[in-house]
C-alpha cells in the first residue's frame, strides 16, 4: 500500500460527503424525520425550562446518538439492499439487528428526556 500525502483539500471534501449523508438521511429516510422533530422539541423544551449545562450535555449526547444510530442503520439497510435483491434470512437478520440498535438508543434518549423534563413540569 502506497502512502498518500496529506491533502487539506481532500479533508475538506470529506466534510461535503458527510453533509451529503445528512441530506440523504433527512430527505429520504422517513424515520429520521420523527427523530429530528423529537430533537427539535427537546431543544425547545431545554430553552423553555432553562435546563442546566449538565442536562444540556445529556440532551446533546442523546440527540447525537439517535441520529448517528439512524445513519448507521440506513447505511446498513442500503448496503444490504444493494448486495442482495431477493429475500434472504441473513440480510433480514442484519437489518433487524441494526433497527434494534436504533430502537435501544431511541428509548435511552426518551428516558433521558423524561428524567430531565418531568421534574420541571
Residue 1 lies in a domain: no
Task: Tell me the whole-structure pTM to 2 decimals.
Answer: 0.88
User: pLDDT tens, 47-100?
Assistant: 999 999 999 999 999 999 999 999 999 999 999 999 999 999 999 999 999 999
Number of domains in the chain: 1
- The CATH number of the domain holding residue 97 is 1.10.287.3610
Cell of 14: 470529506
Residue 22 lies in a domain: yes
Q: Provide the 10 A C-beta neighbour count for residue 81.
A: 11
Residue 4 lies in a domain: no
What domain range includes position 18? 9-120
Amino acid at each position: 500500500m502506497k502512502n498518500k500525502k496529506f491533502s487539506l483539500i481532500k479533508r475538506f471534501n470529506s466534510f461535503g460527503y458527510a453533509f451529503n449523508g445528512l441530506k440523504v438521511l433527512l430527505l429520504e429516510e422517513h424515520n429520521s424525520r420523527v427523530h429530528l422533530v423529537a430533537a427539535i422539541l427537546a431543544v425547545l423544551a431545554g430553552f423553555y425550562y432553562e435546563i442546566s449545562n449538565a442536562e444540556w450535555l445529556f440532551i446533546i449526547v442523546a440527540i447525537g446518538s439517535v441520529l448517528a444510530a439512524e445513519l448507521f442503520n440506513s447505511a446498513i439497510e442500503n448496503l444490504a439492499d444493494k448486495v442482495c435483491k431477493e429475500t434472504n434470512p441473513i440480510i433480514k437478520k442484519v437489518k433487524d439487528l441494526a433497527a434494534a440498535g436504533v430502537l435501544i438508543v431511541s428509548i435511552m434518549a426518551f428516558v433521558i428526556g423524561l428524567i430531565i423534563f418531568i421534574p420541571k413540569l
